Amino acid sequence: QGHWALPSLLPMASPEGTSLGRHKEVTDPASIKAAAARVGEHLVGSGLNLLINNAGITRLNTLDAETLENMTQIYTTNTVGPLLLGQAFLPLLKKAAQGSPGSALSCSKAAIINMSSYGGSIASPSGWDLMQIVAYRCSKAALNMLTKCQSLGYQEHGILCAALHPGWVQTDMGGCLPSSAPQPAVTVDASVRGMLNVLSSLAEKDTGTFLDWQGKVVPW
C-alpha cells in the first residue's frame, strides 16, 4: 500500500491518513492523480508534509527462473509507482514547504520517504542464500537511485527525500520464506517505532541517504 500519513503514530502528520489500498492503484496514473486530488481536497488548501511510499511486492523467483512479466510487474510497483506518486503529490509537498518557517529540511516541513530494503543493496545483498528474488532486488536498487534523484531535484523546493529499510519484519511479505528458513526477527511494533524515531530526527544532512529502522546507514 502507499501511505501519505501514519494517522495515530506520527505527530508531524495529518491526524487522518489517506491511502491507496490496492496494487493496481499505485501503478495507474489516473488513480494516482485522483488520489492526489482527494488528498488536496481533504487538506483544504494546506500542504502535505510527508509522503511515504510503502508499496511493495515480490515473488520467490530464482535468477534462472526470472521472467520479463515478473520483472516488469515488480519494477512497475516498487519503482515506477513511487516516481509517479512523487510527481503527483509534488504540488502539495511544495505548498507545505513554502508554508513552513525556516529553510532546514525535515519531515515536519516536507518529505518523501521511499520504503526500500537491504535486498536492494549492491554492496551488501543481504539474504542471497535464502532467497534470490532478483526482480525485487533490482527494483529496490532502482528505488534507491530514484530516491537520490528526487533528493537532488526536489531539494530546491525544500523537500527532504530518503530511502528507509524497515527491517526484516514479521509481516506477510517478511514471512514468505520456506518454513525451514529463519523467520523475521523484527516485530511490526518495533519496526514502526524505530522508523518513527528516525523520521523525527531526519535533517538536511540526511536527504538522499539510505537508512534502516534504527537510523543506521545502509550501503548502496
Give the confidence band of 47 by pLDDT, cuts at 50, 70, 90.
very high
Grid coordinates in use for 67?
Answer: 521472467
Give the confidence band of 157 by pLDDT, cuts at 50, 70, 90.
very high
Grid coordinates in use for 45?
Answer: 488548501
The answer to the question of residue 32 being in a domain is yes
Q: 14-23, 37-46, 86-95: which has the highest mean pLDDT?
A: 86-95
pLDDT for res 102: 83
Q: What does the pLDDT look like over 90-108, one tens digit per residue?
A: 999 999 999 988 889 999 9
| Mean pLDDT score, 198-219 | 97
- Residues with active-site annotation: 136, 140
Share of the chain above pLDDT 70, in %: 83
Mean pLDDT computed over every residue of the chain: 86
pLDDT for res 176: 57
The answer to the question of residue 219 being in a domain is no
Output 186 or 77, whichever has higher pLDDT: 77
pLDDT for res 26: 87
Given a contact cutoff of 8 angstroms between Cβ atoms, the answer to whether 47 and 24 are in contact is no
The answer to the question of residue 218 being in a domain is no
What is the distance in angstroms between the CA of the first residue and the CA of the last residue of the chain? 24
The answer to the question of residue 82 being in a domain is yes
| Mean pLDDT score, 161-177 | 77
Residue 170 has pLDDT above 80, yes or no: no
* Strands 2-3, 19-20: pairing kind: antiparallel
The answer to the question of residue 94 being in a domain is yes
Total-model pTM: 0.86
User: What is the total count of domains within the chain?
Assistant: 1
pLDDT for res 178: 56
43-57, 151-165, 198-212: the lowest-pLDDT one: 43-57
Instruction: Please give the Cα distance from 115 to 26 (Å, whole number).
Output: 14
Q: What does the pLDDT look like over 2-16, one tens digit per residue?
A: 333 433 333 344 444
The answer to the question of residue 36 being in a domain is yes
Three-class SS state of 117: coil
CATH number of the domain at 169, please: 3.40.50.720
Per DSSP, what are the bridge partners of residue 20?
2
The answer to the question of residue 220 being in a domain is no
Give the confidence band of 186 by pLDDT, cuts at 50, 70, 90.
confident
| 69 exposure class (CB count in 10 Å sphere: 0-12, 13-18, 19+) | exposed
For 47, the domain range is 2-212
Per DSSP, what are the bridge partners of residue 162?
113
The answer to the question of residue 217 being in a domain is no
